[in-house]
Amino acid sequence: MAVTEAVENYLETILILSKIQPDVHAVDICSYLGYSRPTISIILKKMKSEDLVNVDGDNHITLTEKGRDVAERIYDRHDVLSKFFIMLGADKRQAVEDACKIEHDISDEVFELIREHYKKLSLENGGNNE
């Protein structure tokens, strides 16, 4: 089954939260995304059944290897696209917002072209990535 954009966003959120706090709970995801607890519960069940997340006895949410692969792929795309748009002169807020929209739909081929162009421009600008 293909991972939807919504699931990619949840996985990316779990990854981000796990980088800034020791444990991730459903309430943390709710706060971060601004969604209700019932919405999060439904999607967590789906992600658990698809082997994307684990939920332990203390309700700590962790990514499985499969879930981490998806989350890191999306997070990488978001990071590179945001920085590339900022480098092109976009406002940071707008760059981040647009990267969120594009990161899910852009082909691997075109994303890799953007990544390579971003790296080249970054080196030309003295390695300043932001």
Q: Where are the domains of the chain?
A: 5-69, 74-124
The CATH class that applies to domain 5-69 reads mainly alpha
CB 18, CB 81: distance < 8 Å: no
User: At the topology level of CATH, where does 74-124 sit?
Assistant: Diphtheria Toxin Repressor; domain 2 (1.10.60)
pLDDT for residue 21: 95
Name the percent of the chain lying above pLDDT 90. 84
Total-model pTM = 0.86
Tens of each residue's pLDDT in the chain, 130 residues: 578 999 999 999 999 999 999 999 999 999 999 999 898 999 999 999 999 999 999 999 999 999 999 999 999 999 999 999 999 999 999 999 999 999 999 999 999 999 999 999 888 877 665 5
CA pseudo-torsion sign 2, 68, 63, 66 = positive
What pLDDT is stored for residue 47 in this prediction? Answer: 95
